[in-house]
Structure 1
């Protein structure tokens, strides 16, 4: 996949995050957490947290998009037990999900 595709996906995702944060009154200390998820995990996160931002991304560029988003938001890239490209495909991880753990759905 091309670098251009990664860049486009990253910009669109960041745009959506900014809009959601503004819409839902995020404060400076409200941070997004990210998860690469399969369909079942995506549904679970959406049931438990609000707001969430979910985007389906082809598995081949999912990790690069996640890292680009984290870099843009000045978040740490070091994730323990981060899946590699082969396990992303094997585990059918094709969603990038953002949520705020301080905002459980009530």
Structure 2
């Protein structure tokens, strides 16, 4: 049991905090907004650490590789995944725009005056 706790301690704490936050939100309702600054701080810290963490993880993995051939395969797969996900997100965005038409009801003269 001790090794399970050591392996999954962070995940279990995060899961417990999510459940606790949900319970507090249900019981306090709109009054739970007093905890919003703490949540915003947590999310901003998370976003701030995420990019460097990914960058240094990838950099460390690349620097520990022995063969350049393997690095080429991995970089090729990274480019394929990046391009594929970009295309998928673009298609989903275009479908969303075609279905929901976000410009419906807007006066185009207003935008022309703003641009002038």
TM range (shorter): under 0.3
Higher relative contact order (CA 8 A, sep 6+): 1
Greater helix share, structure number: 2
User: TM-score w.r.t. structure 2 length?
Assistant: 0.22
Structure of higher CA gyration radius? 2
